[in-house]
Structure formats: C-alpha cells, structure tokens
Amino acid sequence: MKILTTDCGKLPVLAQVLLKRARVVSGLPEGTHVEITDDVNDKDIKVTLGTVKGYKGDAYKTLSPKQIVSNPQSVLFLAQALQYGYLGPVDPGLELGKDWVIWEGQDITFKPGTVIALDIESAGDIDNDTFAAGRILSIALWNGKFGVVIPEELAETDKAAEAIKRLCDTCTVVCHNGTFDMPYLSKRLGINVYHHEDTLLMHFVLDNLAGEHGLKPLARRWLRAADWDSEAKKYLKHNAHFENIPREKLYKYNIYDSYWTHRLYEYFKPMVEKAQQVLNFYKHRMRVTCVLHDVQMNGVEVSLDALDELEEKYKHQCDEYLAVLRSIAGEDFNPQSPKQIEVFFKSRGVSSPSYDAKHLKKLKREGKEPEFIDALLAYRYAAKVLGSYIVNVRQKRGKDRRVHPHYLPHGAKTGRLSAKGPAIQTMGRDSGIKRALVAAPGCKIISCDYSQAELRTVAELADDTAMIAAFQPGAPDFFDDLMTKIWPEEFPTIEAYEAFKHEQPKTAKNRRALVKSVVYGLNYGRGIRAIATELEKPYEEAEYVVNQYLGAYSGLRDWQQKVRHSVGRKEEDHMRQTKFGMRYNPLFISDADYTSTQNEALAFVPQSTANDICLNAAIKINEQVGQYGAKLIGLVHDATYVECPEETIEECSKMMEYEMAKAATLVFNRVPFAAEAEVGNNWEEV
C-alpha cells in the first residue's frame, strides 16, 4: 500500500517517525508493504496526506505533513488511516424496502428500552435564518437492524410528533450532537423532547484533544465507513440548501447518518464505560446538554430600538474614522483592503510582515504613523461590532422578538462551551451590544457570576495555605493584598496601599492593573516574555512581579512546576486531570511544542474545573427556575443569566447565589466560591 504526499524528499523527519510509530500502533500484519510516494499516478495509493490539489481517487485523506507534526493525536489519526487503507471501506449497503422504509403514516411500535439513533435533515440556511425557520425535510430512525425515514410530507404532522414524543419517552434515543437536532425538532413539532445519549459527546470525553468531532470523520476514522455523503452533497454547490437534494437521495443519506450514529454509539459505549471517571464525566455532560437545550429554547429578547441606536452610533464612527484615514492616505483609500494598507505603509517607507492589531501596535510604539494606526484600529473595531454583532443579532431575531443561540458542548478542549447564532459569549462589554439583550416585559435579568473562579480553583489545586487564606470570608481584596506582597517596602500594609491609592489614584490603578494582568497571564499559562509583550512592559518589570507573586505563594509555584513536569509523563497524568474527569493528555508532544504544551496544561486544569463548577450550578438552577416563573437564558463561562418576573426576583436571586456557591463545594471545601446576583433590565446592567 502507498501513502501519497506532495514531496517525499521534503517530508519532515518527525512526520516520518510518527508514520512509523502509527504503523506499529495500527497493528497491520508484519510484512505489509507500506511505502511513501509523491507520484499521483502510482498504483495502490490508499492514503493521502492532506487534501493537496491534484490528488484524485478514493484514497483516504488524512492529516497533512504539517498537521502530523503539530497535532498531538496524529499517531492515532495515521494509524486509523493505515487500517482504512489496508482493510478498505465498510459499506453496510442499506437497501430501501429491505433494510429501511419510508414511513407512510402507519402505526409505529417501539419496543421500550430499545436504543434508537435519530437524525434530522432540514431546509433553509441554518447559519443565517432565525431559530428553526426551515421546515424539517426528513427524520431518520435506526434501531441497529432496521430503519424508518419519516418523509417531508409527514415530518411535521401531528402523527409524526406523537411518534417522536413516544419514542423519546420510551426508548433510548441516540443523536450525534443532539443539542442541535432536539431543540430544532421540538420547536418545529411543538413538543419538547430530549435525547439520552450523544456520540459527539462520547467522543469528546474520550478524546477532547482530537479537535474534530463530526459524524462523518468519526465514522470514517473509527469504523472505516465508506463515503456516504458525496452523492447528496453534490447538490449543495453554490450555497444551495438541503431542500435542493432529490428526496430519494436525501432520505438515503439521512438513514446512513442515523445508521453510523448507532454504530458509533455501540463502539464508543464500552470505551466510555471502561473508566468510572470518564463515564461520570459523560453523564454529567449529558445532563448539561439538556440544560443547553432549554437555554436555546428559551432564547433572549432583543430590543430593536437599542439595536437601531447602536447601529447608528457605529456607522457614524466608521464614517468618522474613514474620513481620518482618507485625509492621511488619500480619497480612494479603502480600509477593508489589505493590499491598500500595505501600499500605504510602503509609500511611507514602513514594512511589516502583517498588519494585524499586534503588528500595528508594534509599529505605533516605534512611532510609525501613529495617527493612521489609531484610526485604522478604531475603524476595524467599529466595523467588527457592526458586521459581526449588530447585523447577526438583527438577522437572528425571530418573530418572538428573541434570538436563540445554539451552544456547542465541544466548543473548546477544556470543555468550555461556545455559542453561535449569535455568539453570545464573545460579545464584549465595551461594544454596548449587551444593551440590546433585554428582559421580556414584566421581567428582569438576573446574572450570577463567580468572582475570581479560576484563581480560587488554583488556590485549591495548589493546596497553597496562604492563597487559601487570601480567599477566606473577611479577607481583603485579593489584588489589594497582593500589592503589599509585591512591593512590601513601599506598601508594608494594606493601609499603606490604601493611602497611596488615595493620593495617586491613577498610578495606583495602573499598577494594580499590571499585577492583575500578570496573575491572569500566568493563569492562562503565559510565560514572562509573552506577558511583558502583551502589556508592552519591559521584561524585567513583568519578571519582578511574577517572582514576587510566586514567592508569596510558594505552593502555587510548586504546583505549577509539578504540572509542567507532568507533561509527556504518563505516570503523572493525574496532574492534568480535573476532579470532574476532564483530561489533558496529548498522545505525542514534539520538542518544538513542549513549552507551549506545558503552558496549555497549566491553563487547562483551572479553566476546565471552574467551567464545570459553573455548569453544575446551571443544572441545579435550571431545575428550579420554573418555581419562580423564571427561565435560564444564558451561560457565559463563569456566569449564569436568568430572566425572571419582577415579583420573584429576590427569591430567585437567592436561589441562584445558593446554588452557585454550593456547586463548588462538590469538589472543593476550603475556598468558598462566592457568586453575587445582579439585577438589571438588560445584559449590560448586570
């Protein structure tokens, strides 16, 4: 068997080593001939590295040489590719009429407890339409032996709704990323149904570092699934939507989706159940997906007036900065054109490898075109708020005046979530966009946010007595206290610092901000050099603050050293595992990536832990909000957002504060996690 790559002569040595290792892991019989070639016309090409243009045929496409050396899981990817190449694809050859049927409305009986995979296909443009705007085109069910497709003409009937409801009430329903399918189905059919198992989530808990959790790649990698989507996807060119696919092809595609979901479920299930901690984590995250379902269904009210106002403000800003830019760079200057920006700088004798914010700020520090750079950065910011937030929120606002963001349970390696449509978690406070996210009439928004959740987590993990003491009730503010530890001669006591703050408020604020940035920088696993660059401060200054900080909390220093040391050492895996069961275990780390992997590991454990504490609280809050007539409407990292009728604000706030604090006690018992509820009319006020 041959492996095709662009240039055999230039294949990195490390990639060759990893290919050899993958060859061993794959378990191919001794004596199997494996050869690397760069001749497209060679016979017997079974695997290609990357999707390099010009490579044709059915060869299994896997990581490119560049990805092989940088992907921590590449040995697994390659071993799977080799198995596929050696053993060939698996096609179940499902036949209509024999293995599956198109439903005609007859009664369906479900044997209680059966495991049934469910998948839906829908019309329209999911990325741009409002929530569940497109009709359901088909619903496929597969029980492991036989399948049924509910066709378009029956998909949204009462009879289908009844069958789906009964299915979800009596069977074990498996989806691949059901946080998408189930709210969609619920909304379209006017029922509220949840799935019970999720193969995307299973894979995420098994290999959170894979960076890829889609149904097709997983079925192909783990089960050697033969291509089943090209035939249908042909019809999706030029942004055509699924309704463009001829129905017989769409239904077949849909039944294959549910078939492979079922197969993956059976394959992953014993792997997940093998370790109690992995199983527990999976169950915890399955409960979280139900919360995400509710949060999406609930949605967030959007004020059109506030949006209009913001749009006008940012349009005005764009015009203003454009005028400044044009007065410097000429009447035809277009700030959206990278080419024109480059030409402008060249005309001033300035060159830079890139003109992104980082490089522009550097040029500005060197005194090069500061006025132009300021205007360009301001223009870009205003254009971004307009283009990505305001337009998107407006587009996504439905007839119910609400947006319904969709949360991805596998948003980040750490287990943090991400949200789309709109990206409610990344909307900056400074932009003002949160003013447009309002409470429904008669209601208020309550937000409950952990203060310094990751620092508190670190204190517990590091088992640092001084740091744990710093977070006890009644202790002074962590950062005020830290000022006395970093500059003890200047500020021998908190009172001395307070006096300084009173005399020179601006200087005090700047220095406190420096300390805060250093502490958070360290928490995110950044090195001293990176922190100094980011703060635009001399290396020595950042180094001094880091040394004083870690000197004051020596337990923290020890813990950081232990985590760093554990990287690449299997017997020390527990140092990179959270109490919830999330793991940071790269299969392979190259020398070039060793330091950055250590930094990532340092950031991983506290971030992941703090996130799951908040998700645990969200589960409890979601269970109880109904008692107050309230709804859980948002999850943003360390905070929960609830929409609550005015009459019950106080009780509901108390419940939220209680549950947030309690959630942390499940894993930690020395550092209290306080979360204060704030009430307002919109997301900016809380």
Which residues are near Mn ion by CB under 5 A? 119, 257
* Nearest approach, Cβ of residue 676 and Mn ion (Å): 43
**CB of 119: closest distance to Mn ion in angstroms?**
4
Q: 536: which strand partners?
A: none
Give whichever of 200 and 528 is closer to Mn ion, judged by the CB atom.
200
Rounded to 5°, the CA angle 165-167-173 comes to: 115
- Closest by CA to 452, choosing from 471, 468, 466, is 471
- Judged by beta carbon, residue 257 or residue 294, the one nearer Mn ion is 257
How many Å apart are CA 379 and CA 373, to the nearest integer?
10
For Mn ion, which residue has the nearest CB?
Answer: 257
Instruction: Please state, in angstroms and as integers, the Cα–Cα distance from residue 66 to each residue in 4, 52, 62, 79, 583, following that order.
Output: 14, 12, 11, 17, 25
- CB nearer Mn ion, residue 261 or residue 303: 261
Q: Which of 151, 143, 73 is nearest to 593 (CA)?
A: 73
Nearer to Mn ion, 257 or 600 (CB): 257
- Comparing CB distances to Mn ion, the nearer of 62 and 122 is 122
b/e sequence 272-285, b meaning 16+ C-beta within 10 Å: beeeeebbebbebb
Contact 663, 623 (CB under 8 A): no
Residue type, position 158, single letter: D
Nearer to Mn ion, 168 or 656 (CB): 168
Q: Regarding beta strands 300-302 and 35-37, do their DSSP bridges make them parallel or antiparallel, or are they unpaired? A: unpaired
Given the complex with Mn ion, which of 119 and 659 has the nearer CB atom?
119
For the CB of residue 199, give the shortest distance to Mn ion in the complex, in Å. 12
Q: How far is the CB of 257 from Mn ion (least distance, A)?
A: 4
- Residue 136 CA neighbour count, 13 Å, CB half: 27
Work out how close the CB of 250 gets to Mn ion at its nearest, in angstroms, rounded to a whole number: 10
Closest distance to Mn ion from the beta carbon of 139 (Å): 10
Alpha helix locations (H) across 234-275?
Answer: 247-273
DSSP 11: S
Give the angle 47-52-54 at the CA atoms, nearest 5°. 95
Residue with tokens 């239904």: 251
**For Mn ion, the closer CB: 119 or 197:** 119
Q: Is the backbone of residue 190 left (phi > 0), alpha (psi -120 to 50) or beta? A: left
CB of 245 to Mn ion, least distance (A): 11
Place of tokens 């009210």: 301
Nearer to Mn ion, 119 or 454 (CB): 119
Question: Least distance to Mn ion from the beta carbon of 253, Å?
Answer: 7
Q: Give the shortest CB-239-to-Mn ion separation in angstroms.
A: 18
Report the chain's terminal Cα–Cα distance, integer Å: 61
Nearer to Mn ion, 75 or 149 (CB): 149
Residue whose tokens read 């409890």: 620
User: For residue 403, what are the β-bridge partners?
Assistant: 300
Distance (Å, whole) CA 520 – CA 266? 42
Residue 104: enclosing H or E segment and its boundaries?
A: none
Q: How far is the CB of 282 from Mn ion (least distance, A)?
A: 22
Residue type, 444: K
Burial of 7 (0-12, 13-18, 19+ CB in 10 A): exposed
Nearest to Mn ion of 406, 456 (CB atom) = 406
Q: 119 or 464: whose CB is closer to Mn ion?
A: 119
Closest CB 141 distance from Mn ion, rounded Å: 12
In the complex, the smallest distance separating the C-beta of residue 226 from Mn ion, rounded to whole angstroms, is 17
Cβ atoms of 587 and 76 within 8 Å: the answer is yes
Helices 276-298 and 199-206, axial angle in degrees (round to 10): 130
**Count helices and strands in the chain by DSSP H and E runs:** 26, 19
Secondary structure letter of residue 59 according to DSSP = P
Smaller CB separation from Mn ion, 252 or 402: 252
In 10 A of CB 425, how many CB atoms?
18
* Tokens linked to 213: 């959790």
d(CA 383, CA 190): 39
